[in-house]
Amino acid sequence: MFIKKFIPKSLKQALKKKLNNFIRDFKSPKMLWGYDNNGVWLDKTRISDTVFMYHKERINLGNNVYIGHYTMLDGVGGLEIGEGTHISGCGAGIFTHSSHLAIRLYGPEYTKVPEDKKIAYKIEKVTIGKYVFIAAGAKILPGVTIGDGSVISANSVVKKDIPPYSLAKGDPAEVVGSTSELDQKYLNEEIIKSYYKNFI
């Protein structure tokens, strides 16, 4: 109390500001560059330190993938995420298994039965193509394939396959447009011409 009394107000504020900034920086999610994908180093891949990967040994990523903060990736049934795909995070989730039947059928014995031995336990691979964009809060359910160059809108729930270059939204997600058409107005820009690769 004695020391506090003699510290000038401006110094107190400066110290408080420094401490607050330090705590914010320390606690804030961080993007980590590079990822060891089963022995292959992906130097352009960026993954938040808040991403949760379940059975990460069954998750295959292409290079130049971005996976934002607070994303859930489930690898139980196998998950392929193509080159250049962006998952914006903020509650996005990709699921390759579901216990919605098994949990009731097994009751208290559920945790005693190994995943690969459970009946009524849905396990299906999910495949995400190249240069797909999955917006905040979107959920991709087991067995789905999303084609190259597609966009999945925020909070959509994808329950069936999405063809390449589709714009999909809703619950359940439906195709509402084409990313090829969406891109056309930008393709004549000189700056884009120097980067664009025609995936169609």
- Local confidence pLDDT in tens for the 200 residues of the chain: 455 666 777 777 777 777 777 777 777 888 889 999 888 999 999 999 999 999 999 999 999 999 999 999 999 999 999 999 999 988 999 999 998 899 998 999 899 988 888 888 899 999 999 999 999 999 999 999 999 999 999 999 999 999 999 999 999 999 999 998 888 888 777 666 666 555 44
Domain containing 115 equals 29-193
Q: Is residue 83 part of a domain?
A: yes
Is the alpha carbon torsion for 178, 181, 185, 188 positive or negative?
Answer: positive
Q: Is residue 23 part of a domain?
A: no
Q: Is residue 20 part of a domain?
A: no
**Measured CA distances, 114 to 55, 76, 111 (Å):** 14, 12, 7
Sheet of strand 133-134, all strands in order from the earlier edge strand to the far edge: 31-37, 40-48, 66-67, 86-87, 133-134, 151-152, 166-170, 173-178
Q: Is residue 59 part of a domain?
A: yes
Q: Domain holding 127: CATH number? A: 2.160.10.10
Q: Is residue 130 part of a domain?
A: yes
Q: Is residue 37 part of a domain?
A: yes
Q: Is residue 22 part of a domain?
A: no
pTM of the model: 0.82
How many domains does one find in the chain?
1
Q: Is residue 200 part of a domain?
A: no
What is residue 114's predicted lDDT score, i.e. its pLDDT? Answer: 87
What is residue 190's predicted lDDT score, i.e. its pLDDT? Answer: 65
